[in-house]
Chain A
Amino acid sequence: MATADQKIDALIKRDYQAGFVTELEADAVPAGLDEGTIRVISAKKNEPAFMLAWRLRAYRHWLTMTTPQWAHVHYPPIDYQDIVYYSAPKSGKDGPTSLDEVDPKLLETYEKLGIPLKEQEMLAGVAVDAVFDSVSVATTFKEKLGELGIVFCSFSEAVREHPALVEQYLGSVVPHTDNFYAALNSAVFSDGSFVYVPKGVRCPMELSTYFRINASNTGQFERTLIIAEEGAYVSYLEGCTAPMRDENQLHAAVVELVALKDAQIKYSTVQNWYPGDEEGRGGIYNFVTKRGACRGANAKISWTQVETGSAITWKYPSVILEADNSVGEFYSVALTNNRQQADTGTKMVHIGSNTRSTIISKGISAGRGQNTYRGLVKILKGAENARNYTQCDSLLMGDQCGAHTFPYIEVKNPTAKVEHEATTSKISEDQLFYLIQRGLSAEDAVSMIVNGFCKAVFKELPMEFAVEAQKLLGISLEGAVG
């Protein structure tokens, strides 16, 4: 097999393709964090008083917290005074009001990433909220959504235009005391997306955000809040990239989802932050808190994630199933190559009766990657007839990688049914040989096997994303078979 392996090696040893830097003048506050920094951020964004008070509360709480140590990841301690907490591209005036006013250089960046805003606006029918470093650059399709009463805008705009909604829901799912990184985010978050879907409205198109870290030494702390009123439906996509840099950058986001009675939220992520080079230099630390709450009966929240990037991923999109008959889903593909580390999974907390949750997690480890699934299924006392099914599969490529499974199951109700199963295997020589002798190239053979392994998750992704995810997986598997 040696020759075939070498061929695969050469074929998929590709560089990070989103690793370009855009030269832009940025409006940034100096590195470092104290109450002054937070006041500056708040002032720059013209925030109402309640926001500043909330940020400061979070900051003061953050000071009392220590970095979590339980995750199965290793990295040198982060110097939080060495991070730039606010960096915005200088685009002249207060902010663009339409796409034409957006800095053409920015638009070029997005085109390189494969999301030409204009094209998408016209052809794909996807409304995009693009976040560059810390501020939201442009939001497409606003008018059309506005007719239906749907609010889709940057978080800063939401704070100005819909302060009541923000005040009601901000921190209601992920309180500022939740964990170290969520507290930090609550104190310094600069922008993000806000979605509000009114009662009975089915959002006619996929809403999408693209995050990109551009400036060096910058942390990105975005905050996303999605509210689906009674009977509403929304599907939201999120994509992430960053330029190649030697130092590590911190990304600590918070995503909160609120689904009221009969509402449905579908949240899909394709995360392709810069993973660092082959020796593990540079790359993004992706420490993200994502959580949804099913607040009304029959509500449903579904998380789908494809995690191929980041030096370290620490992320557990969770669902709190508060109301009766609510449903939580988690579909994940996590890939670690070279020296990437991922500790990711979900929490399903069953509180209401007849609540159901499904967890499908596929982990792929290659090179010296360490891939951990960590998940909690908690059935509280009042959750009658709760049901959970969990399946975690790991695929190992290479003899120096690791695949780990740390499920936590806590059941306090005798009517609950909880199942967990996990397997670990590697791509067998036989499978490869079979495909190659059928005339497939070694690369196609590996990619076919990997895609088959991930199929259960990919079919949950919206179409365009599924295609992108498959391509991404192929690119990320550099030097994987050997």
Chain B
Amino acid sequence: MSQNSATQQIYLETIAAAGKRAPAGMPAWISELQARAASRFAEVGFPAAQQEEWKYTDVGPIARAGFTPAPKGLNGVDITGLEGFLFEDLSCHRLVFVNGYYAPALSQLGGLPAGVTVSGLADALSERPETLEAYLGRCLPDASHGFTALNSALLADGAFVHLSRGVSLEQPIHILYVTTDEAEAMLMQPRNLIVAEPGSQATLIEHYVANGEAAYWTNTLTEVVAEVSASVTHYRLQEEGPRAFHVGGLHVNLDRDSRFTSHGIDLGGRLVRNDLRSVLDAEGAECHLNGLSVLGGRQHVDNHTHIDHASPRGTSREFYKGILDGRARGVFHGRIVVHPHAQHSDAEQLNHNLLLSRDAEADSKPQLEIYADDVKCSHGATVGQLDADALFYLRSRAMDEAAARDLLTYAFARDVLQRIGLEPVRLQLERRLARGLLHGRDTKELELA
């Protein structure tokens, strides 16, 4: 604990220093927001393992390491260096961030329809502060944990997407966060704000990748505001470097008849924690959360989801799967709260885990808190291994044991991937998984299927 408070002190000094460096034109409300967050961070610090919400994830390695905020600069990334991270055959708008800062030279924002704003958050802060003031920080819970507070306190840049009333964005927005080799021991802090005005529609892909094997820490935070009848589809593809730490927050506020779909895919990172909180704030809101973690080595991924049915007639569907090999540990904590008066809420949650190795561990904590009576709520959680009958069937078809196991594991993962609507993204993920799970076996037939 003492070591934690020591690094906490270092971060507080960093926050103070950042405050002094802040550009002169910054609106006052932003410094107030940062000051509030700084005092919140000073109060709570890093979460401790004794806290119920952090029972299975020890963030000691992050708290002790003492990362420094990454400086601005391209660090030698050019467009050719990005090719490996782009999706084949996906026509999209592209926002690129290098070490947490918007890189306009690498981004591609041509052809945006009228009524759509896509930019870096720092630019948006100087260009249209009044829009940001109305939304920034509004989705966050009052009692946020230390990581959220730290992100707000050091808020500098990120993605800003604004959809005016009734606008439907055809092409998805690919938001790529590249961390370079130079980022060893550095902290990346993207802060994203997505605002969808009534009746608008968009698809976004938050994509975290590393250009090298540095040990860095990404502490990202995204707020999504979906107003009346808006529809937002959000992808979070986490392919951080093998030594990276990743803490992600996704806070969603849903207005009447709006719809939010999330696909969270975790493949990379050494220690990862994702908090997804979705508030169904008005009647008829709908929320679909899908998740997949495919882990090996000493990876640790903790997915916390929290769905608040705060109004009547909300629907939520949650489907998370984990494949754990090596010494990996997968944690799932899904909390669904149906508030008093949120009658006719309909919530369904499923979490399935596949343990492939003797040293892997799965911890699952599905949680229902129901304070209204006329509701339909269920959850299910399983931990197990491949079905013996299915294995036998494949073996009887002359497939060797290893191949049969790989194929069934792949099928287990594909259950989640099949829910992905963007075909180029789905195919790329399937290929990537096939490479990992099928050990280079011929996957042509699988791709065709």
**Residues of chain A whose beta carbon lies under 8 Å from any beta carbon of chain B:** 70, 72, 379, 381, 394, 396-426
Contact B370 A422 (CB under 8 A): no
Contact B370 A412 (CB under 8 A): no
Subset of 23 A-B contacts with CB under 8 Å: A399-B340, A399-B373, A402-B369, A406-B365, A407-B365, A408-B365, A409-B363, A409-B365, A411-B361, A411-B362, A411-B363, A412-B361, A414-B360, A414-B385, A415-B385, A419-B382, A421-B378, A421-B379, A422-B368, A422-B379, A424-B378, A425-B376, A426-B374
User: Residue of B at shortest CB range from A414?
Assistant: B355
Does B384 interact with chain A (Cβ within 8 Å)? yes
Whole-angstrom distance from the CB of B351 to the nearest CB of chain A?
9
Q: Given the known A-B contacts A399-B343, A405-B367, A416-B383, are A411 and B355 also in contact in the complex, defined by CB atoms under 8 Å?
A: yes
Contact A400 B340 (CB under 8 A): yes
Whole-angstrom distance from the CB of B298 to the nearest CB of chain A?
15
Contact A405 B366 (CB under 8 A): yes
Does B377 interact with chain A (Cβ within 8 Å)? yes
Alpha-carbon distance A411/B377, docked complex (angstroms): 25
Alpha-carbon distance A412/B380, docked complex (angstroms): 19
Does B258 interact with chain A (Cβ within 8 Å)? no
Does B356 interact with chain A (Cβ within 8 Å)? yes
Does B397 interact with chain A (Cβ within 8 Å)? no
Alpha-carbon distance A423/B353, docked complex (angstroms): 20
Whole-angstrom distance from the CB of B289 to the nearest CB of chain A?
18
Does B392 interact with chain A (Cβ within 8 Å)? no
Not counting A403-B368, A410-B362, a sample of 15 additional A-B residue pairs whose C-beta atoms are within 8 angstroms of each other reads A70-B52, A379-B383, A397-B373, A399-B374, A407-B381, A411-B353, A411-B361, A411-B383, A413-B355, A414-B355, A414-B360, A417-B382, A424-B370, A424-B375, A424-B378
Alpha-carbon distance A426/B373, docked complex (angstroms): 6
Cβ–Cβ < 8 Å partners of B340 in chain A: 399-400
Whole-angstrom distance from the CB of A461 to the nearest CB of chain B?
27
Does B140 interact with chain A (Cβ within 8 Å)? no
Cβ–Cβ < 8 Å partners of B375 in chain A: 396, 424, 426
User: Residue of B at shortest CB range from A395?
Assistant: B373
Alpha-carbon distance A262/B361, docked complex (angstroms): 31
Alpha-carbon distance A425/B380, docked complex (angstroms): 15
User: Residue of B at shortest CB range from A417?
Assistant: B384
B residues 322-362 in Cβ contact with A at 8 Å:
340-341, 343, 353, 355-358, 360-362
Contact A381 B365 (CB under 8 A): no
Contact B363 A410 (CB under 8 A): yes
Contact A423 B378 (CB under 8 A): yes
Cβ–Cβ < 8 Å partners of A410 in chain B: 56, 361-363
Whole-angstrom distance from the CB of B376 to the nearest CB of chain A?
7
Whole-angstrom distance from the CB of A362 to the nearest CB of chain B?
15
Does B372 interact with chain A (Cβ within 8 Å)? yes
Q: Given the known A-B contacts A411-B355, A415-B385, are A423 and B343 also in contact in the complex, defined by CB atoms under 8 Å?
A: no
Cβ–Cβ < 8 Å partners of A407 in chain B: 364-367, 381
Does B135 interact with chain A (Cβ within 8 Å)? no
User: Residue of B at shortest CB range from A407?
Assistant: B366
User: Residue of B at shortest CB range from A424?
Assistant: B377
Cβ–Cβ < 8 Å partners of A413 in chain B: 355, 358
Instruction: Tell me how many residues of B have a C-beta within 8 Å of chain A.
Output: 36
Does B371 interact with chain A (Cβ within 8 Å)? yes
Q: Which of A397, A411, A422 contacts B380 (CB 8 A)?
A: A422
Alpha-carbon distance A426/B374, docked complex (angstroms): 6
Q: Given the known A-B contacts A419-B382, A420-B381, are A404 and B374 also in contact in the complex, defined by CB atoms under 8 Å?
A: no
Cβ–Cβ < 8 Å partners of A404 in chain B: 367-370
Cβ–Cβ < 8 Å partners of B372 in chain A: 396, 399
Contact A409 B373 (CB under 8 A): no
Cβ–Cβ < 8 Å partners of A398 in chain B: 373
Which 8 A-B pairs give the minimum distances between C-beta atoms?
A: A414-B355, A396-B373, A409-B364, A411-B383, A405-B368, A424-B377, A418-B383, A420-B381
User: Residue of A at shortest CB range from B365?
Assistant: A408
Alpha-carbon distance A347/B112, docked complex (angstroms): 56
Contact B365 A416 (CB under 8 A): no
Cβ–Cβ < 8 Å partners of A425 in chain B: 376
Contact A420 B366 (CB under 8 A): yes
Cβ–Cβ < 8 Å partners of A415 in chain B: 385
Whole-angstrom distance from the CB of A175 to the nearest CB of chain B?
20
Whole-angstrom distance from the CB of A358 to the nearest CB of chain B?
15
User: Residue of B at shortest CB range from A393?
Assistant: B378
Whole-angstrom distance from the CB of A25 to the nearest CB of chain B?
47
Contact A401 B373 (CB under 8 A): yes
Contact B370 A414 (CB under 8 A): no
Alpha-carbon distance A407/B361, docked complex (angstroms): 17
Alpha-carbon distance A414/B367, docked complex (angstroms): 24
Contact B356 A414 (CB under 8 A): yes
Alpha-carbon distance A410/B370, docked complex (angstroms): 24
Whole-angstrom distance from the CB of A176 to the nearest CB of chain B?
22
Whole-angstrom distance from the CB of A73 to the nearest CB of chain B?
13
Alpha-carbon distance A416/B360, docked complex (angstroms): 12
Cβ–Cβ < 8 Å partners of A419 in chain B: 380-382, 384
Contact B380 A421 (CB under 8 A): yes
User: Residue of A at shortest CB range from B380?
Assistant: A421
Whole-angstrom distance from the CB of A234 to the nearest CB of chain B?
33
Cβ–Cβ < 8 Å partners of B374 in chain A: 399, 426
User: Residue of A at shortest CB range from B353?
Assistant: A411
Alpha-carbon distance A401/B340, docked complex (angstroms): 9
Alpha-carbon distance A414/B405, docked complex (angstroms): 14
Cβ–Cβ < 8 Å partners of B384 in chain A: 416-419
Cβ–Cβ < 8 Å partners of A423 in chain B: 377-378
Alpha-carbon distance A409/B357, docked complex (angstroms): 17
Whole-angstrom distance from the CB of B11 to the nearest CB of chain A?
28
User: Residue of B at shortest CB range from A394?
Assistant: B370
Q: Given the known A-B contacts A410-B361, A414-B358, A424-B375, are A402 and B380 also in contact in the complex, defined by CB atoms under 8 Å?
A: no
B365, B380, B383: most-surrounded residue (chain A CB, <10 A) = B383
Cβ–Cβ < 8 Å partners of A420 in chain B: 364, 366, 379-382
Cβ–Cβ < 8 Å partners of B360 in chain A: 414
User: Residue of A at shortest CB range from B361?
Assistant: A412
Whole-angstrom distance from the CB of B317 to the nearest CB of chain A?
15
User: Residue of B at shortest CB range from A408?
Assistant: B365
Contact with A along B206-220 (1 / 0, CB 8 A): 000000000000000
Whole-angstrom distance from the CB of A221 to the nearest CB of chain B?
28
Whole-angstrom distance from the CB of A360 to the nearest CB of chain B?
15
Whole-angstrom distance from the CB of B99 to the nearest CB of chain A?
37
Whole-angstrom distance from the CB of B380 to the nearest CB of chain A?
4
Cβ–Cβ < 8 Å partners of B343 in chain A: 399
Cβ–Cβ < 8 Å partners of A400 in chain B: 340
Contact A422 B366 (CB under 8 A): yes
Whole-angstrom distance from the CB of A224 to the nearest CB of chain B?
30
Cβ–Cβ < 8 Å partners of B362 in chain A: 409-411
Whole-angstrom distance from the CB of A196 to the nearest CB of chain B?
38
Alpha-carbon distance A424/B373, docked complex (angstroms): 9
User: Residue of B at shortest CB range from A418?
Assistant: B383
Contact A416 B368 (CB under 8 A): no
User: Residue of A at shortest CB range from B350?
Assistant: A421
Whole-angstrom distance from the CB of A231 to the nearest CB of chain B?
33
Alpha-carbon distance A416/B383, docked complex (angstroms): 7
Cβ–Cβ < 8 Å partners of A402 in chain B: 369-371
Cβ–Cβ < 8 Å partners of A416 in chain B: 355, 383-384
Alpha-carbon distance A421/B375, docked complex (angstroms): 17
Cβ–Cβ < 8 Å partners of A418 in chain B: 381-384
Q: Given the known A-B contacts A418-B384, A423-B377, are A396 and B366 also in contact in the complex, defined by CB atoms under 8 Å?
A: no
Whole-angstrom distance from the CB of B54 to the nearest CB of chain A?
13
Whole-angstrom distance from the CB of B396 to the nearest CB of chain A?
22
User: Residue of B at shortest CB range from A419?
Assistant: B382
Cβ–Cβ < 8 Å partners of B365 in chain A: 406-409
Contact A422 B378 (CB under 8 A): yes
A404, A409, A415, A421: most-surrounded residue (chain B CB, <10 A) = A409
User: Residue of A at shortest CB range from B373?
Assistant: A396
Contact with A along B377-401 (1 / 0, CB 8 A): 1111111110000000000000000
